A and B are shown apart, each in its own frame.
Chain A
Amino acid sequence: MRLPQFGSVPSFSNTPGRELLARSQVLKRSWPFVLDLCVAAMGLACFYAVVRICMFWAGPPSEQMVVSLSPRSLPLYAFYSVVRIFLAYVLSLVFAITYGYTAAYNKRVEPLMIAALDIMQSIPVLSFLPPVMLAMIRLFPTRHIGVELGAIVLIFTGAVWNMAFSFYSSLKSIPRELVEATNIYRYSAPQRLFQLELPFAAIGLVWNSIMSVAGGWFFLMACEMFHFGSRDFRLPGLGSYLQTAADAGNGHAILYGLLTMVAIIVATDQLVWRPLITWSDKFKFEQVESSKHGSSPLLHILTHSAGVQAILKHTTVPLGEAFYQRLAKARAARMEKLATAPAQETGAAAAARVLPWVLILVVAAAVVFAAQRALILLSPVDRAQYAELLKGAGATFLRVNFSLLLAAGWTIPVGVAIGFNPRLARIAQPLAQIAASVPATALFPVILLALVRLGGGLGLGSIVLMLLGTQWYILFNVIAGAMAIPTDLKEVATLFRFSRFERWRKVILPGIFPYLITGMVTASGGAWNASIIAEYFRLNNRTLTTLGLGAQISSATEHGQFPILLLGTILISLMVVTTNRLVWRPLYRLAETRYRLG
């Protein structure tokens, strides 16, 4: 799925290829349609399994947790939220690396895994929120850990796919001769991982981590406070603080909350991302040294500190040495055995060959069963409800595209102006970055409150939220695109006295086209995702709602109507995947072939 927030974009001089700024499109469709069906079936199966579990464990009613609005409790809340994000991120990183590695080196499952990736990163994760939450809560009767885990799992499902895809495609693009060198010089798999694969993938992983964590904040704000039926689940954290503050209409608390949010984001940027980006610079796969280098005082301290070096020298270094020596010995023993007893298929080996097939069969059977049960779950939905859902889908579709148009409408001229003017860029860039880094979901209660006071409704509010969450993708991509237009092209336009109109048509628009498309693809996914919280919102114990698929999904959640929830999720996933396949992918391909500069 796409992450509708940008978080911290450190600086444009460090901006890597635009493929790193957004989810990567699978350009070449290398798998048959059947596999897409398989993935869809698995999705259904997962959904059913989760729903089943949570229906099974009808738990005791939960006690109310009171969120204090005192500024003194803010540091603790902020800490809770940061820990949640951190745990979810670590989980995502481990999973992404495992997933990417398996997909890249296991030819049999590769197409299926990549098809799954492509779909998983397209579907809106928020509609999975209620079942995941409920399942987790019932899994752990101790209330807190259940809700905590639910939030973490949800952030994880939002953050992991782009990282997995980035790692997978890095593995696939390692130059052949480097791989051959590791083979001929007898590198063990761990040594290859640490000396070749991870370094090669590092830059992509860092940039995608930044995106994932920013997206994580977006979801966390939404899922720290969440209603299901009569129940009201709350986690102490920044998100619940802000929502409670908005509920109570407490202006001071809102301000403190937002300031804390900005402070956290600036701190993460300075203390984590900047050092990481600077550090990952050495993993650039380049033959000549580039002149551009970022700098990070923190990294400098870490790498030049005698203390840190000493600790490393006495911990990881000897451990690593022992590990590698054992691996080498194991290899020698294996080769000797192979040489004395030439390959003979033992019973165990034969079993090991059959086992995966048995496993695949069992899993396939389970998937088919669960997917079918999930479809049965849909049977109580009547025709009127179908019609209602389709109408909602139409409304949300219009809303998403309208907000995209609005976003493109203001970001293209502004982005081009910033991109063409270095002086303006110096002023506008940091401002835009801070504005972009505040999760839209954190601002939403505040903005909605203001809108309601002014007499507006959620119809307008939902578009504002979509806009807030997604415009930055387009803006940053347009700026990067405008900066990438070569000076000589601009000079040609001046030399031949292109009119303003011609300049835009012949130089600027084609020049930014690939970047614009990348931004729009990502923004469109983000807007769909945002629709789930944007169209249905509880404020001051009042439920604001507007016609739309997102509202229907949220309402089904609150009223515990699983069939509608399931159908809505299927519908929204189908819409996103279909638009991707029919609109964005062809445009993307066009951008890659026709409008690629250099």
Chain B
Amino acid sequence: MTEAIIRAERVEKYYAQPSENRIQVIAPTDLSIVPGEIVALLGPSGSGKSTLLRMLTGLSAPSAGKVFWHEREIASTEVNVSIVFQSFALFPWLTVEENVEAVLKARGMEPAERRKRALKMLDTVGLDGFQAAYPKELSGGMRQRVGFARALVVEPEVLFMDEPFSALDVLTAENLRSELLELWQNKTIPTKAIFLVTHNIEEAVLLADRIIVLGRNPGKVRTDFKVGLQHPRDRKATAFTQLVDYVYKVLTQPDAKPPELPQTPGATASPERKRPHYQMLPHARPGGIAGLLEILIDHQGKDDIYRLADDLAFEIDDLLPIVDAASLLGFLTVNEGDAEITRSGTDFANSEILGQKQLFRKAALEHVLLLRQIVRAVETKSDGSVSEEFFHDILDEQFTEEETVRQLETAVSWGRYAELFDFDAARRRFLQSERLHHELENEEVSLESDE
């Protein structure tokens, strides 16, 4: 086996908490990047893909473990890598050419040589004639070409890409992907390896020689395998779709052991993790859940999630939270990448708006611990109000600060929809919902009258 360019040894990332609990973003992970391969790193959002990328490039130091660049510790060597960013990260006040030249200037290159190389690289990525334009005059696709030109002009050994195509429209992204592949295969660029972070399964299978799938809470490698398909790859080929399905299954069953890989083995087993105290609420809106269920009914109550996303022209990463949420609430079950609607799901989808709220309320109270606790808390308080901070502090033990905020946002959105409680955004307090209050009273009354 060839020597790795970058090798990570038991790297992990965590944030220390005052209460001795620490939030593990990435569990100890081994990973290496060897010459001649395109590696794709896949994972749901929140699995620490970008964090891992930043540790591999030396941008961020791991909390524990080490990263080596040609077997030397990364902090004490000059690494020759580039990153293509999702947001392009171009300087809007510099022209296209100045943006590209700036990185050569940083390396102390002469103006004449700099200009020559920059223009040549712009030509290579198809930006000939645009050198004097400012980034804001260009379309998204063109801007990302500038991003590529800037990344490639320093002739990096490893080219890192952090979701480089996800801010672009479908056609532009497809076009850029194939051009990149062409540059790589024709060896137009001296880059020895490419490391691509993406949440697009098809993109990974299309480009990569090796795919690594991360799981979350904390982020860790769930499977790492080689893709044996020949380029150019045909999206319609059975082998291709089988691989996509396989990755898909790994991604949709976060708690199960990864299934057997079609054709080539190599999947590593992941140890069972401890279930967290609170479920992670998927960031989906109740309206989205209802919409998904209605579509499922149209598809005879059962469909492959991947195909569903395709039909809806959704990124799978956008659809997954909705599926997760529906499954958490017991409105559908996920099996082998298929989503199947349940009885309560059908009821929910077919109800009128008030009925939907009622069913949602029932399901939420039954399945979601956090919502149950909030309702309990506001009911027991004499003034019927509890500060958000209280739950913030509890969730903080388990989630990162950012995630805690998002968890609470989702809880507020669900709770308001279901009329479980009210939320006073100015005072940041949960309040007892008037309606719920009345309803409970009425129920008590009717119970009494039954007796």
Pair B105/A324 contact, Cβ less than 8 Å: yes
- Whole-angstrom distance between the alpha carbons of A259 and B70 in the complex? 72
Residue B441 lies at the interface, judged by CB distance under 8 Å to chain A: no
In the complex, the answer to whether B77 meets A289 with C-beta atoms within 8 Å is: no
> For the complex, is B92 an interface residue (Cβ under 8 Å from A)?
yes
- Contact residue among A180, A288, A338 (Cβ-Cβ distance under 8 Å from B89): A180
Closest residue of B by beta carbon distance from A338: B76
Determine whether the beta carbon of A184 is less than 8 Å from that of B106.
Answer: no
Expressed in whole angstroms, the minimum distance between the Cβ of B102 and any Cβ of chain A is 6
Taking CB atoms, residues of chain B closer than 8 Å to A579 are none
**A424 vs B36: C-alpha distance when bound (angstroms):** 69
- Interface contact A177-B87, CB-CB below 8 Å: yes
Contact B107 A186 (CB under 8 A): yes
Which of B78-86, B276-284, B360-368 participates in binding chain A?
Answer: B78-86
Q: How far is the CB of B76 from chain A (nearest CB, A)?
A: 5
A387 at the interface (CB under 8 A from B): no
A-contact bits for B87-105, CB 8 A (1 contact / 0 none): 1010111100000001101
Which residues of B from 139 to 188 have beta carbons under 8 Å from A?
A: 150, 154
Kindly provide the distance from the CB of A427 to the nearest chain B CB, expressed in whole angstroms: 34
Determine if A339 and B72 form an interchain contact, defined as CB atoms under 8 angstroms apart.
yes
Contact status A286-B426, CB under 8 Å = no
Minimum Cβ distance to chain B for residue A101 (Å): 19
In the complex, how many angstroms separate the beta carbon of B112 from the nearest chain A beta carbon?
11
The interface residues of chain A lying within 8 Å CB-to-CB of B82 are 184-185
Contact, CB under 8 Å: B93 / A199? yes
**Residue A188 interfacial (CB < 8 Å):** yes
**B76 engages A286 (CB within 8 Å):** no
Residues on B with C-beta less than 8 A from A195 are 91, 94, 102
Q: Are A175 and B105 in contact (CB under 8 A)?
A: no
A335 at the interface (CB under 8 A from B): yes
Residues on A with C-beta less than 8 A from B93 are 199, 282-283
- Chain B residues with CB below 8 A from A183, complex form: 59
Q: How far is the CB of A209 from chain B (nearest CB, A)?
A: 18
- Which of A187, A285, A287, A339 makes the CB contact (< 8 A) with B77? A339
| B87 close to A328 (CB less than 8 A) | no
Neighbouring A residues of B86 by C-beta, 8 Å: 177
A590 with B76: in contact, given A180-B54, A289-B136 (CB under 8 Å)? no
Bound-complex Cα distance A326 to B76 (A):
21
The yes or no answer to B237 lying at the interface (CB within 8 A) is no
| Residue A332 is within 8 A (CB to CB) of chain B in the complex | yes
A325 on interface, CB distance cutoff 8 Å: yes
Contact A181 B76, beta carbon cutoff 8 Å: no
**Bound CA span A325–B72, Å:** 26
Task: Say yes or no for A342: interface residue by CB 8 A criterion.
Answer: yes
Closest to A324 in B: B105
Q: Which residues of A contact B106 (CB under 8 A)?
A: 185-188, 191, 324, 328
Q: How far is the CA of A180 from the CA of B426 in the complex (A)?
A: 35
B73 at interface by CB-CB < 8 Å? yes
Q: Is the CB of A342 within 8 A of B76?
A: yes
CA distance A342 to B426 in the complex (A): 54
Encode contact with B along A163-192: 1 for CB under 8 Å, 0 otherwise: 000000000000101101101111110010
Q: How far is the CB of B177 from chain A (nearest CB, A)?
A: 21
- What chain A residues lie within 8 Å of B111 (beta carbons)? 321
Q: Are A185 and B59 in contact (CB under 8 A)?
A: no
State whether A285 and B92 are in contact (beta carbons under 8 Å apart), knowing that A180-B85, A184-B59 are contacts in the complex. yes
Chain A residues contacting B137 (CB-CB under 8 Å) are 289
| Alpha-carbon distance A335/B89, docked complex (angstroms) | 26
Report yes or no: B92 in contact with A284, Cβ–Cβ below 8 A. yes
How distant is A585 from chain B, measured CB to nearest CB, in Å?
15
Instruction: Assess the B136–A286 pair: CB atoms within 8 A.
Output: yes
> Is B108 interfacial (CB 8 A cutoff)?
yes
A495 → chain B, closest Cβ, in Å? 26
Question: Shortest beta-carbon distance, A423 to chain B, in Å?
Answer: 33
Contact present for A287 and B136 (CB under 8 Å): yes
Minimal beta-carbon separation of B185 from chain A (angstroms) = 25
CB-based contact A184/B83 at 8 Å:
yes
- Cα of A225 to Cα of B249 in the assembled complex, Å: 82
Which A residues are in CB contact (< 8 Å) with B102?
A: 185, 187, 191, 195
Compute how far the CA of A594 lies from the CA of B425 in the bound complex, rounded to whole angstroms.
8
Of the candidates B103, B108, B425, which one forms a contact with A327 in the assembled complex, judged by CB atoms under 8 Å apart? B108
> Contact at B72–A185, with CB atoms within 8 Å?
no
What per-residue 1/0 map shows which CB atoms of A187-219 lie under 8 Å from chain B?
Answer: 110010001100100000000000000000000
Q: Is the CB of A335 within 8 A of B77?
A: yes
Interface residues of A in 333-367 (CB under 8 A from B): 335, 338-339, 342-343
- A287, A325, A332, A594: the one contacting B78 at CB < 8 Å is A332
A180-B85, A328-B108 given; A594·B426 CB < 8 A: yes
For B76, B82, B93, which residue has the most chain A Cβ atoms within 10 angstroms? B93
CB of B407 within 8 Å of the partner chain: no
Instruction: Please give me the residue from chain A that is nearest to B92 by CB atom.
Output: A285
Cα–Cα distance between A199 and B54 once the two chains are bound (Å): 26
Contact partners of B83 in chain A: CB under 8 A: 180-181, 184
The chain B residue sitting closest to A342, CB to CB, is B76
Known A-B contacts A180-B54, A339-B76; A328 and B85 likewise in contact (beta carbons under 8 Å) = no
Central interface residue in B54, B59, B72, B76, by most chain A CB within 10 Å: B76
Chain B CB count within 10 A is highest, among A285, A324, A594, for A324
Please give me the residue from chain B that is nearest to A330 by CB atom.
B108
Contact of A177 among B85, B134, B425 (CB under 8 A): B85
Nearest residue (CB) in A for B143 is A287
- A329: CB under 8 A from chain B? yes
List of A residues within 8 angstroms of B77 by Cβ: 335, 338-339
B57 within 8 A of A: yes
Docked Cα-Cα span, A288 to B138, in Å, equals 9
Also in contact, A590 and B426, with CB within 8 A (given A287-B136, A289-B136, A335-B77): yes
Chain B positions within 8 Å of A327 at CB level: 108
Closest chain B residue to A289 by CB distance? B136
Rounded to whole Å, the gap between the CB of A276 and the closest CB of chain B is 15
Per the bound structure, the CA–CA distance linking A327 and B109 in Å amounts to 11
Taken together as a complex, chains A and B put the C-alpha atoms of A284 and B93 apart, in Å, by 8
| A window 80-105: CB within 8 A of B | none
A469-B425 Cα distance, complex, nearest whole Å: 37
Q: Complex Cα distance A541/B247, Å?
A: 90
Against A, the Cβ 8 Å flags (1 = close, 0 = not) of B60-84 are: 0000000000001100111001110
Interface residue? A64 (CB, 8 A): no
Asked if A142 CB lies within 8 Å of chain B CBs, one says no
**In the complex, residue of chain B having the shortest beta-carbon distance to the beta carbon of A188:** B106
Is A593 an interface residue, CB under 8 A from the partner?
yes
CB–CB B73/A342 < 8 A: yes
- A–B complex contacts, Cβ < 8 Å, 30 sampled: A175-B87, A177-B89, A178-B91, A180-B89, A183-B59, A184-B59, A184-B81, A184-B83, A185-B82, A186-B106, A186-B107, A187-B106, A195-B94, A196-B91, A282-B134, A283-B93, A289-B137, A325-B108, A325-B110, A326-B108, A327-B108, A328-B108, A335-B77, A335-B78, A338-B76, A338-B77, A339-B72, A342-B73, A593-B426, A594-B426
Closest 3 A-B residue pairs measured CB to CB? A328-B108, A177-B89, A185-B103
Q: A residues near B, CB below 8 A?
A: 175, 177-178, 180-181, 183-188, 191, 195-196, 199, 282-289, 321, 324-329, 332, 335, 338-339, 342-343, 590, 593-594
Please give the residue numbers on chain B whose beta carbons come within 8 Å of chain A beta carbons, in ascending order: 54, 57, 59, 72-73, 76-78, 81-83, 85-87, 89, 91-94, 102-103, 105-108, 110-111, 134, 136-137, 150, 154, 425-426
List 7 other contacts, CB 8 Å, given A184-B83, A332-B78. A191-B106, A196-B91, A285-B92, A286-B136, A289-B137, A338-B77, A339-B78
